[in-house]
């Protein structure tokens, strides 16, 4: 199976599971991911203090419905979005006039079911299409939410690919959204495929699969963030829109420069940091200020299907996920190969021919770029410019510049700064 098809199959398999910030649906999701990657799964008990937050009670749900005359009109078994996340148990019969205050719809999108949660304020509710509500006559309805909210734990998982150095690159995905294919599952699928493809990387790569906000905060509270040198939060990775990169809080972190370079010749948008969005806002909080940006296709809230039943597996495409994966792989290549060098023959241009460097270019289709890359690397290798800066200034592909540096280093013309 091609990687695009593999990623799409994983999205389809995970889609029906009812994920939340805690609970068995989250564990089931991580168990499926664990079939593809070696995961270390962490359980953090309810009540644990994590920075300024406290791990909440665990929520689990078995069934829920709104019924009349034995017919389910709204059915959790058909779509997990139908129940407001973290709804407390209910088993009542009530008139529609009373039930309405617990119903959530999208009047401007009458055929779609919205996604709603209430993690930290005990309540209950149902989400349904406005068209369904419009067809419900007045009268009594049986309302059942078979759920529990009790002490348990918060679950998150990590997969680590050891590198040649202990400096870490984190790739973080939120795994708390029920039945939303683009806004969470496509990012998970891309992260899984990226992790599987890494072989003896330079950096250590840590993949974090955690519930949004509270999960990232819990991870930060329990880990040494000083090891994190770069990072990407992956989300909305499978829609048909062009790629968008949101910069880290620093704005000029190496990861920001890397993504700008990798995206340079593709349709894309670069956005400045804002403290709203996904978990980049936790990693970039001022006490940490990590070099972590966010990579999406169409950003959060930027497409009509966002946080609705329209964000289903048919909304994401294998081709879009492959494109996102390709950009991630190119970014990894730049991060792992970027170095600073010093020219050991800086007075005048060194003779490349006698070192066999020109001859090595003979017959290559990219001979001109390769020659230019050597000259640029020699000229800017002063200990201050890294290879990425050279590639940007020369308007050359990073792999050409890195290959030139490798050749010049092997010939004794460069040393690492």
Mind listing the pLDDT tens digit for each residue in 366-410? 667 888 999 999 999 999 999 999 999 999 999 999 999 999 999
* φ and ψ of 297, to 5 deg: -95, -110
User: Given pLDDT bands bounded at 50, 70 and 90, which one contains residue 361?
Assistant: low
Sign of CA dihedral 395, 400, 406, 411: negative
Mean pLDDT (whole number) for 91-108: 98
Question: Which pTM does this prediction carry?
Answer: 0.96
pLDDT value for 352: 87
> Residue 358: pLDDT above 80?
no
Q: What is the mean pLDDT of residues 203-220?
A: 98
Percent of the chain having pLDDT more than 70?
A: 98
Q: Report, as an integer, the average pLDDT of 142-161.
A: 98
Q: What's the mean per-residue pLDDT of the chain?
A: 96
Binding region for Zn(2+): 177, 183, 307
Question: Which residues, at least 6 apart from 40, have a Cβ–Cβ distance to it below 8 Å?
Answer: 157, 158, 159, 160
Domains and CATH numbers, the chain: 3-54+154-336 (3.40.630.10), 58-150 (3.50.30.90), 340-416 (1.10.10.10)
Distance, CA of 350 to chain centre: 45
pLDDT-based confidence at residue 1 (cuts at 50, 70, 90): confident
Residue 159 has pLDDT above 80, yes or no: yes
Taking residues 284-307, what's their average pLDDT?
Answer: 97
Provide mean pLDDT across the span 6-22: 98
Which segments of 245-317 does DSSP mark as H helices, in order?
Answer: 254-263, 280-283
The confidence band for 363, taking pLDDT boundaries of 50, 70 and 90, is low
CA 251 – CA 112 distance, rounded (Å): 37
Query: Residue range 92-99: average pLDDT?
Result: 98
Binding site, by residue number, is: 177, 183, 307
Cβ contacts of residue 309 below 8 Å, gap of 6+? 79, 81, 112, 113, 129, 179
How much helix, strand and coil, in percent to the nearest 5, is found in the chain?
A: 35, 25, 40
Using one digit for the tens of pLDDT, what is the confidence trace for 221-238?
999 999 999 999 999 999
């Amino acid at each position: 199976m091609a990687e695009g098809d593999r990623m799409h199959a994983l999205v389809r398999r995970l889609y029906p599971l009812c994920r939340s910030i805690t609970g068995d649906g989250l564990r089931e999701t991580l168990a499926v991911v664990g079939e593809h990657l070696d995961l270390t799964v962490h359980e953090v008990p309810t009540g644990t203090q994590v920075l300024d937050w406290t791990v909440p009670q665990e929520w689990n749900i078995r069934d829920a419905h709104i019924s009349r005359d034995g017919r389910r009109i709204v059915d959790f078994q058909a779509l997990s979005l139908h129940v407001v996340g973290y709804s407390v148990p209910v088993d009542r019969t009530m008139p529609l006039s009373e039930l309405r205050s617990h119903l959530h719809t999208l009047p401007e999108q009458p055929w779609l079911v919205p996604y709603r949660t209430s993690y930290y304020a005990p309540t209950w509710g149902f989400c349904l299409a406005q068209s369904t509500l419009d067809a419900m006559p007045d009268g009594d309805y049986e309302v059942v939410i078979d759920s529990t909210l009790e002490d348990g734990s918060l679950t998150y998982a990590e997969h680590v690919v050891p590198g040649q150095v202990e400096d870490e690159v984190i790739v973080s995905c939120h795994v708390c959204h029920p039945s939303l294919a683009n806004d969470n599952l496509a990012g998970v699928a891309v992260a899984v495929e990226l992790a599987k493809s890494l072989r003896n990387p330079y950096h250590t790569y840590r993949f974090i699969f955690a519930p949004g906000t509270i999960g990232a905060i819990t991870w930060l509270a329990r880990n040494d963030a000083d090891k994190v040198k770069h990072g990407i939060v992956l989300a909305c990775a499978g829609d048909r829109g062009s790629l968008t990169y949101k910069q880290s809080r620093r704005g000029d972190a190496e990861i920001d420069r890397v993504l700008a370079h990798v995206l340079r010749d593709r349709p894309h948008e670069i956005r400045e940091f804002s403290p709203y969005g996904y978990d980049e806002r936790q990693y970039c909080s001022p006490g940490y200020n990590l070099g972590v940006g966010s990579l999406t296709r169409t950003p959060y809230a930027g497409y009509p299907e966002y946080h609705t039943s329209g964000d289903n597996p048919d909304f994401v495409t294998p081709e879009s996920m492959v494109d996102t994966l390709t950009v991630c792989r190119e970014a990894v290549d730049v991060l792992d190969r970027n170095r600073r060098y010093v020219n050991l023959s800086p007075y005048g241009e060194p003779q490349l021919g006698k070192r066999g460097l020109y001859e090595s270019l003979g017959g290559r289709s990219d001979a001109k770029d390769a020659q230019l890359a050597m000259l640029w690397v020699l000229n800017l290798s002063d200990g201050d410019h890294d290879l990425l800066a050279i590639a940007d200034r020369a308007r050359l592909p990073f792999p050409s510049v890195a290959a030139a540096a490798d050749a010049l280093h092997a010939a004794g013309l460069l040393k690492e700064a």
